Amino acid sequence: MTQLSFAALSERKPVKVDLNGTPVCVTRVGDEVFAIADTCSHSDASLSEGDVTDYKIECWLHGAEFDLRSGEVVTPPASIPVEVFEVSRNGDELTISSRKSAQG
Ligand code: FES
């Protein structure tokens, strides 16, 4: 797992964090925080460099959009969802962890 500060996140300004060697894109939308794989499933672009609209993040390279809540593809050319990570919040402290390891 990895930890960061909620207050350090700007609204709709994704940041890239490292989770045990996996790049993760963390995005704040209002009081909610979402974490998805940072690497676009279409090619090798970093999603945290993309633009966020509502609950969608747009890959800067070819324009695919992913739902921050589910990791599902909203707009092609990507066709494979990206992994979603668990975000838990305790005051200002956010903990990002893998859903897979959370399930054992
Ligand atoms: S690399 Fe993201 S849409 Fe092509």
Q: Are the CB atoms for 70 and 81 separated by under 8 Å?
A: yes
Instruction: Look at residue 77 in the predicted model and tell me its pLDDT.
Output: 98
Full pLDDT tens readout for the chain, 104 residues:
899 999 999 999 999 999 999 999 999 999 999 999 999 999 999 999 999 999 999 999 999 999 999 999 999 999 999 999 999 999 999 999 998 754 44
Instruction: Look at residue 101 in the predicted model and tell me its pLDDT.
Output: 55
Instruction: Look at residue 100 in the predicted model and tell me its pLDDT.
Output: 72
Domain spanning 2-98: CATH superfamily: Rieske [2Fe-2S] iron-sulphur domain (2.102.10.10)
Instruction: Look at residue 104 in the predicted model and tell me its pLDDT.
Output: 44
- Encode 26-64: b = buried (16+ Cβ within 10 Å), e = exposed: bbbbeeebbbbbbbbbbeebbbbebebeeebbbbebeeb
Q: Where are the domains of the chain?
A: 2-98
Instruction: Look at residue 44 in the predicted model and tell me its pLDDT.
Output: 92
Query: Residue 54 Cα, ligand 1 centroid: separation in angstroms?
Result: 19
Q: Taking CB atoms and a 6 Å cutoff, what residues make up the pocket around ligand 1?
A: 40, 42-43, 45, 59, 61-64, 77-78
